[in-house]
């Protein structure tokens, strides 16, 4: 789950590819039941329907034909652009069962144009199947025979649908959402790289709140709270605190931060489960993670820096080289992969190589 930006607008995940596939499957079953003894001509309305039509047709097991039309505003001498023309419709439709495949029916204006055009083609029957339908805005008295997923009157993109030309290639459907207002960043890197130091600078400059999960755990350990005692058993050995414990704590901290321009996450997420949970959690708040900023320092320098810090930090996990190496091992086996997670979302900012891992191993 995430928030994406297309042109000037923000969209959040709304209907997953799996849910879309289920809806397409049900539509195929309904249409198959009604048409299997016929050879229907499926007509997709371009551009938006190309993905739906491809998935639909692939699953339709009986004889059928496929064609596409495009409804274009009539150009030429007409300046109003209101007269519509169906491009690509050259077949003889007399006596045929024609099934229009639409990606989305909104006001129904497009559908009405299609009806007008097919009215005098002497078809045997004309049926409409649409993957998405907005019942709240549909104003026409026209029958829609098959409806995949009814949705509220909010603009969507993905699975063939676009916003000003882009977004058609998204596998999931995204829904328009308000602009996230916070600058939320992840400071990322192995232990001792200087995340805390950089966080101190950034929070001053940009009025951000700094949340270091390590610091929160250590303050619980100091208070000897239940959470602290549990966390201590992992942290002292240089192991990661389990996901469920860390996530629960992080949510509670985030829910209680004072107003700010954003949050710097330091030491969280450390696993892919944590990263996914954070995305979902942010999205519930109408926010997003703006970027992961990765800092890298050669591992041998890190070890000496941590041992040096251990002289004054009082941190047991900074004082023993074996524990330090175990922390690196945890980082490189469970955490470093998160760079790919954020790279895939186009929010990774940092060195593009895995040199450090090679040095470490
Ligand atoms: P109509 O209002 O039913 O005529 O829909 C017209 C066209 O607007 C559809 O075929 C789509 O191309 C486009 N459209 C309507 N609603 C949406 C939406 O939520 N996302 C993307 N395109 C849309
Ligand atoms: Mg359309």
Question: Do 184 and 282 touch, CB atoms closer than 8 A?
Answer: yes
107 lines ligand 1 (CB under 6 A): yes
98: part of which helix (H) or strand (E)?
strand 97-105
Compute the distance between CA of residue 206 and CA of residue 226 in angstroms, rounded to an integer.
34
Query: What is the model's pLDDT at position 361?
Result: 32
Query: How remote is the CA of residue 50 from the centroid of ligand 2, in Å?
Result: 10
Compute the distance between CA of residue 178 and CA of residue 19 in angstroms, rounded to an integer.
24
Query: How remote is the CA of residue 71 from the centroid of ligand 1, in Å?
Result: 12
232: part of which helix (H) or strand (E)?
helix 226-235
Sequence-distant (≥ 6) Cβ neighbours of residue 154 within 8 angstroms: 175, 176
Q: Beta partners for 104? A: 132
Q: Which residues of 207-219 are buried (b: 16+ CB within 10 A; e: fewer)?
A: ebbbbbbbebbbe
Instruction: Give the model's confidence band at 357: pLDDT under 50 very low, under 70 low, under 90 confident, else very high.
Output: very low
Ligand 1, atom 10, lies closest to the CA of: 104
161 lines ligand 1 (CB under 6 A): yes
> What is the side-by-side strand order in the sheet with 263-266?
209-212, 263-266, 185-188, 291-294, 348-349
Arithmetic mean of pLDDT over the chain: 89
Compute the distance between CA of residue 110 and CA of residue 81 in angstroms, rounded to an integer.
14
Q: Are strands 65-73 and 41-46 parallel, antiparallel or unpaired?
A: parallel
Ligand 1, atom 11, lies closest to the CA of: 104
Would you say residue 132 has pLDDT above 80? Answer: yes
Alpha-carbon torsion (236, 238, 243, 248), positive or negative: positive
Query: How remote is the CA of residue 45 from the centroid of ligand 1, in Å?
Result: 11
Ligand 1, atom 16, lies closest to the CA of: 106
102: part of which helix (H) or strand (E)?
strand 97-105
Task: Give φ, ψ of 332 to 5 degrees.
Answer: -75, -25
Q: Could you read off the pLDDT of 253-284 as tens digits, one per residue? A: 999 988 889 999 998 998 999 999 999 999 88
Lowest average pLDDT, out of 56-65, 66-75, 102-111, 178-187, goes to 66-75
* Least distant ligand from the CA of 101: 2
Q: Which two tokens mark 35?
A: 């048409």
> What is the side-by-side strand order in the sheet with 3-6?
3-6, 9-15, 173-177, 156-157
Sequence-distant (≥ 6) Cβ neighbours of residue 142 within 8 angstroms: 108, 111, 112, 115, 128
Q: Could you read off the pLDDT of 215-266 as tens digits, one per residue? A: 999 999 999 999 899 999 998 888 889 999 899 889 989 999 888 899 999 9
* Least distant ligand from the CA of 102: 2
Full-prediction pTM beyond 0.75? no
Would you say residue 148 has pLDDT above 80? Answer: yes
Of 103, 110, 240, the C-alpha closest to 167 is: 103
Could you give the C-alpha distances from 350 to 190, 295, 297, in angstroms and in order? 13, 6, 12
Of 91, 90, 73, the C-alpha closest to 82 is: 73
């Amino acid at each position: 789950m995430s928030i994406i930006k297309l042109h000037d607008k923000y969209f959040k995940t709304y209907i997953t590819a799996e849910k879309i596939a289920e809806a397409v499957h049900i539509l195929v079953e309904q249409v198959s039941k009604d048409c299997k003894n016929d050879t229907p001509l499926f007509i997709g309305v371009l551009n938006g329907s190309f993905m739906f039509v491809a998935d639909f047709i692939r699953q339709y097991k009986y004889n059928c034909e496929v064609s596409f039309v495009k409804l274009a505003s009539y150009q030429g001498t007409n300046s109003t652009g209101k007269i519509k023309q169906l491009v690509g419709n050259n077949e003889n439709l007399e006596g045929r069962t024609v099934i229009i495949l639409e990606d989305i029916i909104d006001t129904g204006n497009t559908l009405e144009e299609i009806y007008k055009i097919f009215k005098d083609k002497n078809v045997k029957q004309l049926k409409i199947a649409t993957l998405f339908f907005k019942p709240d805005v549909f104003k026409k008295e026209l029958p829609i025979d098959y409806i995949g997923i009814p949705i509220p009157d909010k603009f969507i993109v993905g699975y063939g649908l676009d916003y000003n030309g882009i977004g058609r290639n998204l596998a999931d459907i995204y829904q328009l959402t308000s602009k996230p207002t916070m600058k939320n960043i992840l400071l990322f890197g192995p232990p001792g790289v200087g995340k805390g130091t950089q966080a101190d600078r950034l929070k001053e400059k940009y009025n951000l709140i700094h949340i270091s999960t390590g610091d929160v755990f250590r303050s619980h350990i100091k208070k000897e709270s239940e959470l602290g005692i549990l966390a201590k058993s992992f942290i002292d050995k240089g192991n990661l605190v389990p996901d469920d414990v860390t996530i629960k704590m992080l949510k509670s901290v985030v829910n209680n931060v004072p107003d700010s321009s954003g949050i710097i996450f330091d030491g969280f997420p450390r696993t892919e489960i944590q990263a996914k949970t954070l995305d979902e959690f942010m999205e519930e708040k109408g926010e997003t993670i703006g970027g992961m900023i990765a800092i890298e320092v050669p591992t041998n320098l890190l070890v000496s820096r941590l041992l040096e810090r251990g002289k004054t930090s009082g941190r047991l996990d900074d004082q023993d080289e074996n524990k330090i190496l175990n922390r690196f091992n945890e980082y490189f086996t469970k955490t470093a992969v998160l760079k790919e997670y954020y790279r895939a979302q186009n929010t990774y900012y940092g060195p593009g190589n895995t040199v450090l891992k090679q040095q470490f191993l």
